[in-house]
Amino acid sequence: QKEVEQDPGPLSVPEGAIVSLNCTYSNSAFQYFMWYRQYSRKGPELLMYTYSSGNKEDGRFTAQVDKSSKYISLFIRDSQPSDSATYLCAVSNDMRFGAGTRLTVKP
């Protein structure tokens, strides 16, 4: 079993839609959870960072962690074409990444 599982998509939505991206993980010892965004031909960049369970909001982005079910989510409200990218979940302390979900937001 992989440490981090993520549906690779691809996912295509119209502009303005709410996007839900999800990952599951296997090791209950993980405490730090991150979402990275990767544009084509670029390195990943940190988007959201969450410690333990709960929600964290930053503008149009909300990250959720449910440690009881080992499930992490990223929600994007009012999605924009500039949000088109691959979204990678990552778990610390050993920085393993999920497969990444490719998102396309159509104008």
Least distance (Å) between residue 19 CB and another protein: 18
Distance CA 37, CA 13 (A): 17
What letter does residue 83 receive in the DSSP assignment? G
State which residue, 45 or 57, has the beta carbon closest to another protein.
45
Judge contact between 48 and 21, C-beta under 8 A. no
State which residue, 17 or 70, has the beta carbon closest to another protein.
70
What does DSSP say about strands 11-14 and 101-106: parallel, antiparallel, or unpaired?
parallel
Within 24-83, the residues that bind another protein by CB under 8 A are 31-32, 34, 36, 41-46, 49, 51
Check binding of 11 to another protein (CB under 8 A): no
**Near another protein by CB under 8 A: residue from 11, 13, 17, 99:** 99
**Near another protein by CB under 8 A: residue from 15, 57, 66, 94:** 94
State which residue, 17 or 32, has the beta carbon closest to another protein.
32
Judge contact between 5 and 25, C-beta under 8 A. yes
Residue-wise DSSP of 49-77: EEESSEEEEETTEEEEEETTTTEEEEEES
Binding site for another protein (CB under 8 A): 4, 6, 8, 31-32, 34, 36, 41-46, 49, 51, 88, 90, 92-100
